[in-house]
Amino acid sequence: MAKYGSGSVGFFLANGYDLLASNAPQSLAFKREALTQMVHGLGATAEVPSPVGVSRYTLSQSGAFFDDTANTAHDLLKAGSTASRVIVFSVAGNTSGAPFVGCLGALTVGYEVLTKVAGITEANATYAITGHCYDGQIIQPWATKTADWNTDTLNTEVDYALDPSQTVIPITSNSIANPTVVTTAVPHGLTTGQVILISGVATSDPTINGERTVTVISPTTFSVPVNVTTGGTGGSLVRCSTVGGCYTFLEVSACSGFTNFVATVKDSADNITYATLTTHADNVTAPYAEAVTNGVETVNRYTIVDGNVSGSGSITCMVGLVRL
């Protein structure tokens, strides 16, 4: 697992408000808890907690400097509870492909202003989210744009096969057969039709290394369409595609001059032909945020953002993709 220093925090945005800009918190914390309920009864000799299928997410910032400038974090935090928020943060930098966390749900805010003798006024804030938090990849880093852009033409498309958060599945062997049967050392979790990237398999003739489409046989076996005459051993795999749909998160912290802005997220199996996954609503009133879901489509290996604006101006935004 990679290690990140304090300088690796890329952004902390809630409904478009930049929670790092004006108040400069000294620390950030994020906690996930799986809630349980005690199910023991009379005569029991020990507590028996049982998961209830609900999670609690708590974010907190400590030692921030109090700043009540209009349209900054203070305006968001002093509002307290609200029906719903879209929150994103990254502690691993602000680059294409880097991990981020996107949160959705009702938000309860605890906001504590600390006045000290002979010191600058500080504030602590705690955010309790009743909803969901998802791990994803940044596909448009938080940045300011002044014209139409496309991360494909900028050569910053995101390759899911390189996602460091993926679980690498070890391969035990592949059989002499057509199609060859691949055996994994642990459950692979794949679905028939999914595309994977195999590497490091030795002795297989012909090789099965490279992109392959799987047909699932059991939790630890699947076939790929290769006529193998000499079996192979070793190697590993990662996924290139996912089959559960996605969420895309858009946060806009500033916008001026433009009369229209639409962000479209697209995917591709070959990094050549791209198709639309989600389209975010046309909006130029900042700060704002939106999460859009596509719950039915396969999400292919490569993903990009197509940003389209009208008029002359600038917009500061980020887009992240969560594979479900």
What topology does CATH give the domain 143-161+243-323? Jelly Rolls (2.60.120)
pLDDT tens per residue, range 206-239: 999 999 999 999 999 999 999 999 999 999 999 9
pLDDT tens per residue, range 127-139: 777 778 899 999 9
pLDDT tens per residue, range 161-194: 999 889 999 999 999 999 999 999 999 999 999 9
As its CATH architecture, domain 164-239 has Beta Barrel (2.40)
Alpha carbon distance 105, 99 (integer Å): 20
CB 314 within 8 A of CB 41: no
CB 254 within 8 A of CB 317: no
Q: Is the pLDDT of residue 1 over 60?
A: no
Alpha carbon distance 46, 104 (integer Å): 36
User: Within a 13 Å sphere around the CA of 64, how many CA atoms are in the beta-carbon half?
Assistant: 27
- pLDDT at residue number 61: 75
Average pLDDT over residues 59-76: 70
269 CB neighbour count, 10 Å cutoff:
16
CB 298 within 8 A of CB 242: yes
Whether the link from the prior residue into 179 is cis, omega within 30° of 0, is yes
Q: How far is CA 236 from CA 22, 40, 167, 170, 261, in A?
A: 46, 44, 10, 4, 42
Report pTM.
Answer: 0.89
Q: How far is CA 25 from CA 9, 29, 30, 78, in A?
A: 11, 11, 14, 16
Break the chain into its structural domains and give their ranges. 6-36+50-140, 143-161+243-323, 164-239
Q: Do domains 143-161+243-323 and 164-239 have the same CATH topology?
A: no
CB 90 within 8 A of CB 6: no
Reference 99, options 141, 56, 57, 60; nearest CA is 141
Amino acid at the residue 189: G
CB 206 within 8 A of CB 174: no
- pLDDT at residue number 30: 77
- pLDDT at residue number 83: 60
Write out the two tokens for 302: 């490569």
CB 278 within 8 A of CB 266: no
Percent of the chain with pLDDT over 70: 90
Q: Is the pLDDT of residue 286 over 90?
A: yes
Write out the two tokens for 84: 């719903």
What topology does CATH give the domain 6-36+50-140? Pnp Oxidase; Chain A (2.30.110)
298 CB neighbour count, 10 Å cutoff:
17
User: Would you place residue 62 in the very low, low, confident or very high pLDDT band (cuts 50, 70, 90)?
Assistant: confident
